[in-house]
């Protein structure tokens, strides 16, 4: 194989990249993490980027694609993701296209001819297309300078979305006459999955960049003991002007929640695999175009959906693992505006996820891995630690061990009580039961249950039988799960996990360590009251009336262009406009998100609005002709 082409230092520098960033995207500089990845690709290095959802991964390969000769081939997993990316690029003045199953053979051939004529800087395809002989032959005739692999965690069987077609990326790259740069991106990856991505994609001496997963604009909450249905209906009714996603574990729950939201008069839609392709596409488009404000969906919805103004994501049920949760929750606040990520947890969620694991045909090793990841998700739901710290620890990311001050653990002002004696009773009971039983059986013995199995095993004769008879079995089970999340107990893997004592439990039994737990809230407030802070978190300088008027202008433009509103300008850009109130072209171009190309296409109506507000609408526009 020939060596990849050498980069051109005179044109391949970060200052030039910033010029492209300002021109096409309207931002003066790169975000944290983006700059190093862009520099790595401009230097011709294989690159692996782990960046949170909403962290701007696409810009990391799109800017180098504009600067390098030839074309960048983007491997993208979903049709909707391709369309969103290409719509946004073409709107910004970048020549891009996609090839997928929605196109006719004639359309596919025309786009390949465009690529051969050098008219495309980016071409998006699904990984399955790399397995087709004719497609590989066509690509071999192109000057491909970079292959960018999005959602690269799909290549690993230990990732949460394993997709066998991703294994075809490395052979495809090897078959090209000139090896291009290989860039891989994902939002979440454990160290194990990161190693798999480098090995299975055959990255050559890659530069690896992990950007902080803890996004400051997201307020993470785990709520236990809530009436879930009441909470969701209350919250949605209190946030009717905001876009939100509600994830549920089953189709039945999706249908029920959506119907109840609609019965309340709310603008809601649904999305799950039991709907027809046409129904799903219609719901997704209605949500993207803000025709509906909230969508209730299973985890089939959302991967790669680049809707920037989602203000809240509610998980009606606990997800199956941390990777899924962080990726789904991360769809809130992609524009950097304050947003809510709320997980409603109940013990029934554990049973639901175990059922789903058992229904999925897979080998025993992978099934054990699924159970291990599920337990880590359960631990997250019960932990009293800072949720952001717990999340970063899971993904092996170095961080300062200090509270984030915004998650539900850090803002929980309930009274801490000493449960050391209860913990000692629980540990003693588990020891006397020889660490051979699960949480429910231990709770039954401590409660003093007369259940058949308790009596059959003779557990009614243990000294610890009934020593927590004043508590309900549910309360005892909750306490056991808290002790598991704190690392004092552990659960074996599998469908029927057994509770095991950890070494730290001995310190508690000897009285050398205290165990604390927060008591339940004395009173219950409504979801709307409890979360009102999220609606007050925008800068006080933002004029909400002006902001809503700007949204109406944006909606009209989006309708005319047949693209989602956020592709015109996102909410963060409109909010900055409402503060700055630009009076000239130069002032408009200084607003983040208003690039030169977008200003030419869409800037005039917004600038006219502000000039009319100030009574100065006769200004001449010398530099640009508006389309």
pLDDT tens for 401-450 read 788 889 998 888 777 788 999 999 999 999 999 999 999 999 999 999 99
Same domain, yes or no: 356 and 436? no
| CB atoms closer than 10 angstroms to residue 427 | 22
Give the pLDDT of residue 625.
Answer: 39
Closest among 574, 568, 585, 569 to 542, alpha carbons compared: 574
pLDDT over 90 (residue 363): no
- Per-residue pLDDT, 91: 86
Q: What is the mean pLDDT of the chain?
A: 85
Does residue 150 sit within a domain? yes
Residue 539 inside a domain? The answer is no
Q: What H or E segment, with its residue span, contains residue 150?
A: none
Task: Tell me the C-alpha distance between 581 and 612, whole Å.
Answer: 11
Domain count, the chain: 4
DSSP 316: S
Residue 79 sits in the same domain as residue 181: yes
Using CA atoms, how far apart are residues 550 and 544, in angstroms rounded to an integer? Answer: 10
Q: For the chain, give the number of residues.
A: 627
Tell me, yes or no, whether 622 lies in a domain.
Answer: no
Exposed/middle/buried for residue 622 (C-beta within 10 Å: 0-12, 13-18, 19+): exposed
User: Is the four-CA dihedral 158, 162, 166, 171 of positive or negative sign?
Assistant: positive
The CB density around residue 225, as the number of other CB atoms within 10 Å, is 13
- pLDDT grade for 284, boundaries at 50, 70 and 90: confident
pLDDT at 525: 43
- 28 CB-contact burial (10 Å; exposed 0-12 / middle 13-18 / buried 19+): exposed
- 455 shares its domain with 588: no
Mean pLDDT, rounded, for 324-340: 88
Instruction: Evaluate whether 332 touches 239 at the Cβ level (below 8 Å).
Output: no
Same domain, 255 and 376: yes
Q: At 407, list the tokens.
A: 């998650």
Q: Are residues 390 and 246 in the same domain?
A: yes
Question: Does one domain contain both 550 and 599?
Answer: yes
> What pLDDT was estimated at residue 8?
46
CB-CB contact of 610 with 588 (8 Å): no
What mean pLDDT is predicted for residues 364-378? Answer: 86
What would you measure as the largest C-alpha separation in the chain, in angstroms? 92
- pLDDT, tens digit (0-9, with 9 covering 90-100), for 511-564: 888 888 876 555 444 444 444 433 343 444 567 788 888 988 998 888 888 888
Looking at the fold, whether 156 and 229 belong to one and the same domain comes out as no
DSSP 160-227: TT--GGGGGHHHHHHTSSBPPEEEEEES---HHHHHHHHHHTT-SS-EEEE--S--TTEEEEEEES--
- 8 A C-beta contact, residue 376 and residue 321: yes
Rounded Cα distance, 612 and 280, in Å: 42
Q: Tell me how far the alpha carbon of residue 476 is from its chain's centroid.
A: 33
pLDDT tier for residue 7 given thresholds of 50, 70 and 90:
very low
Confidence of residue 614 (pLDDT cuts 50, 70, 90): low
- CA dist 182 and 180 (Å) reads 6
CA atoms within 13 A on the CB side of 18: 9
Residue 135, CA atoms < 13 Å, CB-side half-sphere: 20
- Buried b / exposed e over 471-486, threshold 16 CB at 10 Å, is bebeebbbbbbbbbbb
Query: Is the pLDDT at 4 greater than 50, yes or no?
Result: no
Pick 300 or 564 by higher pLDDT: 564
* Whole-angstrom distance, CA of residue 236 vs CA of residue 293: 9
Query: Contact at 8 Å (CB) between 534 and 310?
Result: no
The pTM assigned to this predicted structure is 0.70
**Are residues 498 and 470 part of one domain?**
yes
- Asked if the structure places residue 625 within a domain, the reply is no
Residues with Cβ within 8 Å of residue 306, at least 6 apart in sequence: 58, 81, 84, 85, 88, 334, 566
Q: Any idea what the CATH number is for the domain that residue 424 is in?
A: 1.10.10.10
With respect to residue 627, please indicate whether it lies within any of the assigned structural domains. Answer: no
Give a yes or no: residue 72 inside a domain: yes
CATH number, domain containing residue 379 = 3.40.50.300
**Which of these, 589, 617, 590, lies nearest to 603 by C-alpha position?**
589
Q: Identify the three-state secondary structure at position 105.
A: helix
Whether 7 maps to a domain, the answer reads no
- pLDDT bin (cut points 50, 70, 90) of residue 106 is very high
Residue 9 included in any domain: no
512, burial (CB in 10 Å: exposed 0-12, middle 13-18, buried 19+)? exposed
Q: Is the pLDDT of residue 335 over 70?
A: yes
Q: Do residues 75 and 148 lie in contact, with contact meaning Cβ atoms separated by under 8 Å?
A: yes
Cα–Cα dist 244/314, whole Å: 8
Residues 260 and 328 in one domain: yes
**Distance (Å, rounded) from C-alpha 500 to C-alpha 492?**
7
pLDDT > 50? residue 203? yes
Give a three-class secondary structure readout of 458-515: CHHHCCCCCCCCCCCHHHHHHHHHHHHHCCCEEECCCCCCCEEECHHHHHHHCCCCCC
* pLDDT attached to residue 531: 43
Pick the last residue of a domain from 177, 210, 243: 210
Tell me the three state secondary structure of residue 554.
Answer: helix
Q: How does strand 416-418 pair with strand 516-518?
A: antiparallel
Q: Domain range spanning residue 506?
A: 416-518
* pLDDT for 258: 95
Task: Say which range, 49-58, 249-258, 467-476, 607-616, has the weakest mean pLDDT.
Answer: 607-616
Nearest 10 degrees: CA dihedral of 525, 246, 256, 80?
A: 170
Domain boundary among 518, 534, 558: 518
Alpha-carbon gap, residue 412 to 403, rounded angstroms: 12
Confidence of residue 622 (pLDDT cuts 50, 70, 90): very low
Whichever domain contains 569, its CATH number is 1.10.150.80
Confidence class for position 12, pLDDT limits 50, 70, 90: low
Identify whether the C-beta of residue 201 lies closer than 8 Å to the C-beta of residue 189.
Answer: no
The structure tokens listed for 301 are: 């919805």
pLDDT of residue 547: 85
Residues 577 and 497 in one domain: no
Does 222 lie in the same domain as 206? no
Residue that terminates a domain, selected from 163, 184, 210 = 210
The DSSP symbol for 55 reads S
Please state, for a pLDDT cut of 90, what percent of the chain lies above it: 44
Say yes or no: 224 and 206 in one domain. Answer: no
pLDDT of residue 305: 63
């Amino acid at each position: 194989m020939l060596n990849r082409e050498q980069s051109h230092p005179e044109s391949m520098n970060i200052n030039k990249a910033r010029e492209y960033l300002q021109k096409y995207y309207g931002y003066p500089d790169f975000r944290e993490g983006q700059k190093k990845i862009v520099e790595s690709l401009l230097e011709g290095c294989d690159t692996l980027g782990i960046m949170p959802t909403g962290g701007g991964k696409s810009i990391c390969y799109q800017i180098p694609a504009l600067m390098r000769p030839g074309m960048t081939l983007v491997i993208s997993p979903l049709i909707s993701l391709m369309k969103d990316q290409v719509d946004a690029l073409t709107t910004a003045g970048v020549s891009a296209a996609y090839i997928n199953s929605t196109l006719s053979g004639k359309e596919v051939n025309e786009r390949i001819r465009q690529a051969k004529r050098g008219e495309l800087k980016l071409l998006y395809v699904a990984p399955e297309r790399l397995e087709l002989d004719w497609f590989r032959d066509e690509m071999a005739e192109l000057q491909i300078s970079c292959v960018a692999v999005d959602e690269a965690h799909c290549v690993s069987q230990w990732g949460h979305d394993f997709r066998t077609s991703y294994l075809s990326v490395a052979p495809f790259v090897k078959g090209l006459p000139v090896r291009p740069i290989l860039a891989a991106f994902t939002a979440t990856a454990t160290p194990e999955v990161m190693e798999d991505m480098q090995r299975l994609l055959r990255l050559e001496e890659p530069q690896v960049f992990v950007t902080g997963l803890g996004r400051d604009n997201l307020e993470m909450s785990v709520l236990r003991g809530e009436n879930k249905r009441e909470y969701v209906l209350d919250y949605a009714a209190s946030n009717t002007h905001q876009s939100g996603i509600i994830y549920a574990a089953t189709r039945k729950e999706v249908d029920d929640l959506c119907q109840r939201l609609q019965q309340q008069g709310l603008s809601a839609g649904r999305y799950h695999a039991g709907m027809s392709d046409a129904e799903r596409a219609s719901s997704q488009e209605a949500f993207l175009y803000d025709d509906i404000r909230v969508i209730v969906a299973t985890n089939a919805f959302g991967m790669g959906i680049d809707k920037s103004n989602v203000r809240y994501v509610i998980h009606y049920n606990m997800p199956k693992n941390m990777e899924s949760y962080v990726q789904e929750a991360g769809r809130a606040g992609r524009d950097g505006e304050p947003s809510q990520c709320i997980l409603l947890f109940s013990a029934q969620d554990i049973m639901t996820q175990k059922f789903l694991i058992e229904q999925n045909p897979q080998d025993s090793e992978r099934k054990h891995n699924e159970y291990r990841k599920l337990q880590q998700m359960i631990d997250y739901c019960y932990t009293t630690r800072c949720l952001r710290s717990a999340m970063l620890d899971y993904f092996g990311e170095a961080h300062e061990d200090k509270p984030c001050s915004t998650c539900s653990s850090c803002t929980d002002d309930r009274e801490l009580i000493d449960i050391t004696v209860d913990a000692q009773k629980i540990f003693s009971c588990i020891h006397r039961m020889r660490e051979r039983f699960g949480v429910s059986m231990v709770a039954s013995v401590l409660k003093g249950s007369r259940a058949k199995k308790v009596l059959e095993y003779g557990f009614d004769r243990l000294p610890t039988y009934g020593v927590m008879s004043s508590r309900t079995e549910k309360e005892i089970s909750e306490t056991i799960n808290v002790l598991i999340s704190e690392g004092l107990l552990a659960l074996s893997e599998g469908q029927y996990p057994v509770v095991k004592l950890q070494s730290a439990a001995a310190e508690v039994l000897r009285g050398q360590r205290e165990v604390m737990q927060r008591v339940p809230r004395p009173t219950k407030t409504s979801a709307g009251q409890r979360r009102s802070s999220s609606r007050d978190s925008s800068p006080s300088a933002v004029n909400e009336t002006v902001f809503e008027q700007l949204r109406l202008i944006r909606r009209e433009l989006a309708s005319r262009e047949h693209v989602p509103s956020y592709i015109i300008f996102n909410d963060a850009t409109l909010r900055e406009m409402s503060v700055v109130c630009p009076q000239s072209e130069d002032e408009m171009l200084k607003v983040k998100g208003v690039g030169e190309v977008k200003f030419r296409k869409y800037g005039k109506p917004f600038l006219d609005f502000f000039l009319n507000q100030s009574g100065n609408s006769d200004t001449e526009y010398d530099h640009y002709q508006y389309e």
